[in-house]
Structure 1
Amino acid sequence: MFSHIRSMAVIVAMGAIAVGCGGADSAAEPTTVTLLAHESFVLPDGTFEAFTAETGITVEVLQTGDAGTIVANAIATAGDPVGDVLFGVDNLLLQRALDANVFVAHEAAGLDDVPDRVKLDPQNRVTPIDSGYVCVNYRADALNGAAPPTSLNDLRQPQLASQFVTQNPENSTPGLAFLFATIASFGEDGWKDFWRDLRDNGVTITPGWNEAWNNAYVGGDPGGTKGIVNSYASSPVFEGLFGGDDPVVSEILIDSCFEQIEFAGVLAGTDAPQNAGKLIDYLLSPAVQSEIPLSMFVEPVNSTATIPEEFSTWTTPITSPLALTPTEIAENQARWTQEWLELFRE
Structure 2
Amino acid sequence: MKTTTYLPAVAGLAICATGALADTPVLQVMTYDSFVTEWGPGPAIEAAFEAECACDLQFVGTGDGAALLARLQLEGPRTDADIVLGLDTNLTAAARETGLFAPHGVDADLDLPITWTDAEFLPFDWGYFAFVGNQGEAAPASLQELADSDIQIVIQDPRSSTPGLGLLMWVKAAYGDAAPALWEALADNVITVTPGWSEAYGMFLDGEADAVLSYTTSPAYHLIAEEDASKVAWPFAEGHYMQVEVAGKVAGTDQPELADQFMAFMVSDAFQSVIPTTNWMYPAVIPADGLPAGFETLVTPETALLLSPEEAAATRDAALDEWRTALSQ
Pairwise TM-score range, normalised by the shorter structure: 0.7 to 0.9
Change (3 A) 1:305 1:280: farther
Pick from 241, 254, 259: which aligns with 1:271?
254
Pick from 242, 245, 269: which aligns with 1:259?
242
Cα distance, 1:164 vs structure 2: 4.2
Verify: 1:203 aligned to 2:194, yes or no: no
Number of equivalences: 299
Cα distance, 1:97 vs structure 2: 0.9
Change (3 A) 1:214 1:43: closer
Pairing of 1:224-243 with structure 2 (within 5 A): 224=208, 226=210, 228-243=211-226
Q: Which structure dedicates a bigger proportion of its chain to helix?
A: 2
Q: Which has the larger radius of gyration?
A: 2
Rounded to whole Å, the distance in 2 between the matches of 1:193 and 1:337 is 14
Q: What secondary structure sits across from 1:194 in the alignment? A: helix
CA contact (8 A) 2:235 2:299 kept: no
CA contact (8 A) 1:286 1:306 kept: no
Change (3 A) 1:213 1:128: closer
Pairing of 1:101-112 with structure 2 (within 5 A): 101-109=99-107, 111-112=108-109
Rounded to whole Å, the distance in 1 between the matches of 2:200 and 2:27 is 38
CA contact (8 A) 1:136 1:257 kept: no
CA contact (8 A) 1:240 1:314 kept: no
Verify: 1:39 aligned to 2:33, yes or no: yes
CA deviation profile, 1:26-77 (whole Å, cap 9, x unmatched): xxx9843222222222336554444344344442333332223332222233
Pick from 136, 139, 149: which aligns with 1:141?
136
Q: TM-score when scaled to structure 2?
A: 0.78
CA contact (8 A) 2:239 2:303 kept: no
Rounded to whole Å, the distance in 2 between the matches of 1:57 and 1:324 is 38
Pick from 142, 155, 176: which aligns with 1:151?
142
Change (3 A) 1:267 1:151: same
Verify: 1:174 aligned to 2:163, yes or no: yes
Change (3 A) 1:307 1:317: farther
Verify: 1:190 aligned to 2:178, yes or no: yes
Pick from 94, 97, 101: which aligns with 1:96?
94
CA contact (8 A) 2:24 2:54 kept: no
CA contact (8 A) 1:88 1:263 kept: yes
Cα distance, 1:345 vs structure 2: 4.1
Cα distance, 1:296 vs structure 2: 1.1
Cα distance, 1:276 vs structure 2: 0.7
Cα distance, 1:127 vs structure 2: 0.7
Rounded to whole Å, the distance in 2 between the matches of 1:172 and 1:84 is 22
Q: What secondary structure sits across from 2:73 in the alignment? A: helix
Pairing of 1:55-134 with structure 2 (within 5 A): 55-109=53-107, 111-115=108-112, 117=114, 119=116, 121=118, 124-134=119-129
Cα distance, 1:336 vs structure 2: 1.6
One-letter amino acid matched to 1:86: V
Rounded to whole Å, the distance in 1 between the matches of 2:198 and 2:65 is 17
Cα distance, 1:99 vs structure 2: 0.5
Q: Tell me the equivalent position of 2:13.
A: none
Seq. identity, %? 26
Verify: 1:321 aligned to 2:304, yes or no: yes
Rounded to whole Å, the distance in 2 between the matches of 1:107 and 1:170 is 30
Change (3 A) 1:46 1:298: closer
Rounded to whole Å, the distance in 2 between the matches of 1:56 and 1:344 is 50
Pairing of 1:15-54 with structure 2 (within 5 A): 31-41=25-35, 42-43=40-41, 45=43, 47-54=45-52
Change (3 A) 1:69 1:151: closer
Rounded to whole Å, the distance in 2 between the matches of 1:334 and 1:230 is 21
CA contact (8 A) 2:272 2:286 kept: no
Q: What secondary structure sits across from 1:112 in the alignment? A: coil
Q: Tell me the equivalent position of 2:230.
A: 248
Pairing of 1:300-339 with structure 2 (within 5 A): 300-318=283-301, 320-339=303-322
Cα distance, 1:171 vs structure 2: 5.7
Cα distance, 1:211 vs structure 2: 6.6
Q: What secondary structure sits across from 1:288 in the alignment? A: helix
Rounded to whole Å, the distance in 2 between the matches of 1:177 and 1:58 is 33
Cα distance, 1:120 vs structure 2: 5.9
Rounded to whole Å, the distance in 1 between the matches of 2:209 and 2:82 is 46
Rounded to whole Å, the distance in 1 between the matches of 2:102 and 2:310 is 19
Rounded to whole Å, the distance in 2 between the matches of 1:332 and 1:97 is 15
CA deviation profile, 1:302-325 (whole Å, cap 9, x unmatched): 145544434415432346422122
* Aligned-CA RMSD value: 3.0
Q: TM-score when scaled to structure 1?
A: 0.75
CA contact (8 A) 2:67 2:160 kept: no
One-letter amino acid matched to 1:104: A
